[in-house]
Amino acid sequence: MLTFVGLGLYDIEDLTIRGKKAIEDADLVFAEFYTSHLIGLKEEKLENALGKKVRLLPREEVENGELILENAKSKNVVLLVVGDPMIATTHVSLRIMAEDNGIKTRIVHNASIISAAPGILGLQNYKFGRTVSLPFPQAHYFPTSAYDYIYENFSRGLHTLILLDINPRPMTANEAMQILLDMEQKKKKGIFNESTLIAVIARAGAPDCLARAGALGKLIMEDFGPPLHSLVLPGKLHFTEEEALEKLAGAPHTIL
């Protein structure tokens, strides 16, 4: 058996009762933290928090699946994942490989930034388009595919959740907004400027979760505190969404 256990968004207290039982019953517990981090718990303290030995896996060992699947053929194996286990396509692929090898799989779901972001900002979740990941630009390499996906959503009036790179360190919302402005200079489709309405979510799921919405030119100058940060570019807003952004995220009435 291979069980995918979601850890939620913040710390070990987000673990569900079902997830806790799966860990207790496991012969082996693996974890991966390259797709995201538990911002309220240091990785080295995970074993103490769970009362179970946990082996952290690098990206390649999760993607090729060999170690996990070989053990899951004869043991109850748990893979711990931040957020909800099946949001990342890597974990879907691993589940398919397990089923192809005759290994039963189970999923213990949990909260994800995909579902949390609309709720934090008061936006309607069915009005979100494709989620976009924003990587750090590299020397001589500045990918702009994220901009194209954002434009596709925006042109259809849909909101866009923009997830920020965490390698080699968590990207800040301020850095992300500057990258989007730099992309605008290259693509010139008129999405981003200093007057663009944008929303910032900092530390989703944490007791000090912060939500701010307003003009990009103003928010880019603000300090949103420690990571993790995410952005949302609103599309066409319903009047209830406008009210939510104003009352829940401090958006100025004039920009709405």
Predicted local confidence at residue 65, as pLDDT? 97
Predicted local confidence at residue 147, as pLDDT? 98
Confidence of residue 43 (pLDDT cuts 50, 70, 90): confident
Q: For 129-133, which contacts have Cβ atoms below 8 Å and span 24 or more sequence positions?
A: 129/153, 129/156, 129/158, 129/159, 129/160, 129/235, 130/160, 131/160, 131/161, 131/162, 131/163, 132/160, 132/161, 132/162, 132/163, 133/162, 133/163, 133/164, 133/165
CATH architecture of 113-255: 2-Layer Sandwich (3.30)
Predicted local confidence at residue 193, as pLDDT? 98
Q: What is the mean pLDDT of residues 3-16?
A: 97
CATH topology of domain 2-108: Cobalt-precorrin-4 Transmethylase; domain 1 (3.40.1010)
Q: Is pLDDT of 189 > 90?
A: yes
Predicted local confidence at residue 44, as pLDDT? 86
Q: What is the pLDDT of residues 112-154, one digit of tens each?
A: 999 999 999 999 999 999 999 999 999 889 999 999 999 999 9
Q: Is pLDDT of 42 > 90?
A: no
- Enumerate the domain spans of the chain: 2-108, 113-255
C-alpha 212: how far from chain center = 18
Q: What is the mean pLDDT of residues 3-14?
A: 97
Predicted local confidence at residue 117, as pLDDT? 98
Q: What is the mean pLDDT of residues 226-245?
A: 98
Q: What is the mean pLDDT of residues 16-35?
A: 97
pLDDT over 70, % of the chain? 100
Q: Is pLDDT of 40 > 90?
A: yes
